[in-house]
Amino acid sequence: MSNGLTDIAILKEIIKETATVLLEHDGYGKNKVILREPPPANYDVTIYGMPDDDEVIINADKFKSPDTVFKGNRGECKRADFVIVADTENKKIILCIEMKGGKGGSETEIIQQLKGAQCFVAYGQKIGKEFWAQKNFLNTYVYRFVTIRNINIHKKPTREKITDDHDSPERMLKISSPNYLQFNRLIGMKK
Helix (H) or strand (E) holding 124: helix 107-131
At residue 118, the pLDDT reads 96
Which bin fits 42, alpha (ψ -120 to 50), beta or left (φ > 0)?
left
Q: What is the pTM of this model?
A: 0.90
In this prediction, residue 13 carries a pLDDT of 93
The residue extents of the domains of the chain are: 2-186
User: How do the pLDDT tens digits run along the chain, 191 residues long?
Assistant: 446 789 999 999 999 999 999 999 988 889 999 999 888 888 899 999 998 878 899 998 888 888 888 888 898 889 999 999 999 888 899 999 999 987 777 999 999 999 999 999 999 999 999 999 999 999 999 999 999 988 876 555 545 555 568 999 999 999 988 888 999 989 986 54
pLDDT at 1: 43
Q: Is 43 exposed, middle or buried (0-12, 13-18, 19+ CB in 10 A)?
A: middle
- Residue 19: helix, strand or coil by DSSP? helix
